Structure 1
Amino acid sequence: MEISKLHIYVFSLFLIGMFFGVQKGNAQEETFNETFTYEEFLGVVKKYHPLVRQADLILTTSEAKLLKARGYFDPKVTADFNKKRYKDTEYYSLFNGSFKIPTWYGVELKAAFDKNQGDYINPENYVPEDGLASFGISVPVGQGLWINKRMAEVKKGKLYQELGDYERTLAVVDAITEASAAYFDWKQQYDKAKLYETFYENAKERQEWIVKSIVLGELSPIDSVESGINLKTRRLEWEQANLKLTKSRLSLSNYIWTEDEIPLEVSEQMQPEETLKDNILSVLNINPVSEEVDLENHPKLKALSTKIAMKDVDRRLMANKLLPKLNVNYNYIATPDYIDNYNWDDYKIGASLSFPILLRKERADVKIAKAELSNAQYGLKFQMQELQNKVKAKFAELNSYQEQILMNADLVSDYQQMHNAEVRLFEMGESSIFYINTRENKLVKARVSQIELENDYFLIAAELYRTLAIL
């Protein structure tokens, strides 16, 4: 769910001042816990993380490509001046200036001005003393009329812009999925650390009770050795869990940034969302009921369709090159002072024709373009089918893990009952520390399994989100 910019900004400042420490910071830590929910975490990631901002550069690049393509239609001003003077003789002084305007269908408009003089000027360059102006048009009658390189580049530039939007969406989805995995790992290690801390405290209380009972002569001294081993084991497990928690917290900090691109570090007082299992699908905008998903507007398929459209432009351009190059031009010429007095007899016309006899290069280019287009179309069909099956597989995994979590929860409940019963028997003198530790080990294993199953469930939900690409 998207949250307002103001809320994110205020929340970020709150995190900086209260619950986070800047990596270089030495501020005092707070002495109370605060929940950092998954939804709030994603809000910060989507707003400020460098990977998301980096994805925005895809749009900038695609816009630049379109701007570059439109540059092919920019008007162009040219000027050429050459002069030769030797031993007081002016051989020639030649000036030609022109202004060209390319248009969409290959037609080019041109205005020019020539002013030439000298003793040894080429006769074809003779112009009136005031110079000669011309206004004309050049038309490609054959190749280049309906499609040419300029038109193709602009069409592809517009498609690049669409492609950039789809690729940006996919990049943001990947960044969110990657960040989510870090949050899930932080939650998993936090829950394990709390679990081992609880059992360590229980083992410490039991050890103290057993020592007192031994002093009173109610228990054998060997019982303290058995309970001591369990206490040391729980202490070791807790220490290992704390190390993993620290590493996961630092990994999570890689995704926490402020609007001013300042990295933050998650403090030890922050805790993950307890009810994440109940909220994760709604946060990721996944409908857990319906597995029928409309993939026609999927960013990945849209991106492939856009690439196919670009290859089709290339195919049309290659096919157009099978036509002969036939350019016709007409220019009306007049001196600057008679430019409004049109005279049909004053003009320059020209035509050029070029056509390869065998067309082997052109025919080969068309075949290559068609093959690349067909290859992209086959790839689109495969990707569509693969996405459909992948979505179904992820939904199946999601449902399976939901069932496994429920089953394991029943096991945890049963092991808890067995452990409690064993403790009561021990208190009545009908059991031993060995049996209590055995029951407790199975209970700990079942609860750790529950945490790991929930983590797997979260990861599957995130992978389903990535597959659906719901931004």
Structure 2
Amino acid sequence: MKPTIIAFFLLFFAESMLAQTLDSVLTLQQFLSNIKQEHPVARNAELLLRQAEAQVRQARGAFDPKLFSDWQQKSFDGKRYYRTGEMGAKVTTQWGMEFKASYTNASGSFLNPEELLPDPGQAVLGLSIPLLNGLFFDANRAGLNSATLDRDGLDADRRGLLNDLLLQAGITYLNWTIAYNQLQVTEQAYQLSLTRFRGIRESYFVGDKPAVDTIETFTQVQNWQLELNDALTVYRNASLGMRALRWNNGRPTPADSPWNWQPERLNQAVQLPAMPIDSFTQGLELQHPDLRALRVDLRQLDVERKLAAEQFKPRLDFSYNLLGRGFDFSPATKENPTLTLTEALGTNFKLGLNFSFPLLLRKERGKMELIQIKQLQTGNKFDQKRIEIENKLRSYFNDYENTRQQIQRYQVLVRNLQALLQAEQRKLEAGESSIFLINSREQKLIETQLKFNKLQGEFAKNLLSVYWAAGRLPLLF
């Protein structure tokens, strides 16, 4: 094959493979902000807040006023035995007291004497108070406290979901950025080798260069052509990963849609503040989602323990009901037209005391022991989890520090290799070097640049991982 035909084929192939219309830059901040707002996992995470509010609302329902009604009638052989009815409202407060207001009427030939009422019926104003068990804490208040703590726990779960999602998306973006930069370097190397091949070919035609130099440069073109194919495939696959994560109005980006985006520069992809390790480990218990969730578990177990401790008290409930004649609660009579408040409350009333207490307390003691065991288990789990998270955080921080130092060394190495290549090119112009040495210098420089790109990407990934290990990614994007 003639050199001119070879050059034309390679040039056409490269242009067809690399034709792109990249319209605008997609930054990491923009990409992760889109993920946080549009991705289904992020939307489900936000729904956890609504779930928490619904649970608190449900628990508060135990203290809602309640209307009640009860109506019964019995007739047999044409006789009305009785007809009774009661309607009213109850209010349970967050202090354990229950208030009641009702109206009762009763009539019939065979009423129980206890159910005999005044002709206009009877209104009742009642109060019920637990004097021992349930006075300071009960199941309703425990349910409300638990639901309130669940709100903190679900918020921690939301933070954990977002933290993991943003790390996954950030690494996907950085892989795409690395692939794009590798493609750019490889394309430049290919174009440079192609330009050199054309120059050597022209020199060969005029007799200035031997034929072996054209073979040497053409071999370099073929090598970079293979590298370019691989880099292009990696970039396309990385772009597919980006499409899979980018959503718009609840819909994913189709895999066959145009992708006219390019990433920001690799050394600017992650611009997070680089802080010392102590700034991450301090306050870790309050910020990391997993540790926050375990702290909520411990607080909920404390609520259960408090409720279980209440069961060791005897049950003593006091109730008082003020009875009226119809809706008239005044007990005044013709003989005594004026009554004091004490006399009024002590004239027409219904009073009650209910007492109960289990003698062996086996159920209560067993419940308390189970809760204490769970508290010990959860406390041990919390301590172990904190050690694991802190070790993981320090490990990522060590990787971050290592890559940061390696980047500084690679910057010097790239500059030195560029200087060596330029010196070799000047020697070639003076006739003191060869195409083989030029290609070797250039190959070493480009390989180092490709490694440098990967190192910059790893540096960005490690920095993201440090913030992820500290549970802080949702606070940044």
Task: Give the TM bin, normalised by the shorter chain.
Answer: 0.7 to 0.9
Bigger drift between 46-55 and 188-197 goes to: 46-55
Q: Secondary structure at the match of 2:136?
A: coil
Trace 1:291-306 onto structure 2 (pairs within 5 A): 291=279, 293-295=281-283, 297-300=286-289, 301-306=291-296
Look up the equivalent residue of 1:415 and give its one-letter code.
L
The one of 339, 354, 364 aligned to 2:356: 354
For residues 239 and 269 of structure 1, the distance between their equivalents in structure 2, rounded to whole angstroms, comes to 20
5+ long unaligned stretches in structure 1: 1-28
Query: What does 1:74-153 align with in structure 2 at a 5 Å threshold?
Result: 74-153=64-143
TM-score between both structures, scaled by the size of structure 2: 0.82
Partner secondary structure for residue 52 of structure 1: helix
Corresponding residue pairs, total: 439
Q: CA–CA distance in 1 between the matches of 2:273 and 2:354?
A: 62
For residues 158-173 of structure 1, what are the structure 2 equivalents within 5 Å? 158-173=148-163
Matched, 1:72 2:57: no
State the alpha-carbon separation in 1 of the partners of residues 371 and 35 from structure 2.
41
Change (3 A) 1:217 1:381: same
Say which SS state the counterpart of residue 370 (structure 2) adopts: helix
How far the C-alpha of 1:151 sits from its partner, in A, is: 0.5
Q: Which residue of 2 aligns with 1:394?
A: 396
Q: Cα offset for 1:268?
A: 4.8
Match of 2:316 in 1: 326
Aligned residue in 2 for 1:443: 445
Identity %: 28
Equivalent residue for 1:340? 330
Q: CA deviation at 1:333?
A: 1.8
Distance 1:32 1:457, change over 3 A: closer
Q: Return the alpha-carbon distance in structure 2 between the equivalents of residues 268 and 99 of structure 1.
A: 65
Q: Is 457-466 or 411-420 further displaced after alignment?
A: 411-420
CA offset at residue 109 of structure 1? 1.3
Q: Which consecutive residues of structure 2, in runs of 5 or more, have no partner in the other structure? A: 1-18, 332-343
User: What's 1:270 paired with?
Assistant: 261
Provide closer, same or farther for how the CA distance between residues 410 and 93 of structure 1 changes in structure 2, counting only shifts above 3 A.
Answer: same
2: CA distance, partners of 1:85 / 1:33: 88
Single out whichever of 173-182 and 356-365 deviates more from structure 2. 173-182
Using the TM superposition, give the Cα deviation of residue 238 of structure 1 relative to its aligned residue in structure 2, in angstroms.
1.3
Paired residues of 1:142 and 1:324 also in contact (CA < 8 A) = yes
The Cα of 1:222 is off from its aligned counterpart by: 4.5
1:463 to 465, 469, 473: 465
Q: Which has the larger radius of gyration?
A: 2
Q: CA deviation at 1:217?
A: 4.1
**d(CA) in 2 for partners of 1:442, 1:340:** 106
Q: What RMSD, in angstroms, separates the aligned Cα atoms of the two structures?
A: 2.9
Secondary structure of the structure 2 residue equivalent to 1:104: coil
Amino acid at match of 2:73: K
Runs of 4+ in 1 over 6 A off after TM superposition: none
Q: Aligned equivalents of 1:459 and 1:292: distance in 2?
A: 17
After TM superposition, the score normalised by the length of structure 1 is 0.83
Deviations 1:372-431, CA, capped at 9 Å, x for gaps: 223323333334444444433333221110111122233333333444445555556655
| Distance across 2 between alignment mates of 1:240 and 1:122 | 96
Q: Which deviates the most, 341-350 or 307-316?
A: 341-350
Q: CA deviation at 1:286?
A: 4.1
Matched AA of 1:271: Q
For 1:176, the equivalent position in structure 2 comes to 166
1:159, 1:306 within 8 Å by CA — same for their partners in 2? Answer: yes
Residues in 2 aligned to 1:45 and 1:207: alpha-carbon distance in whole angstroms = 46
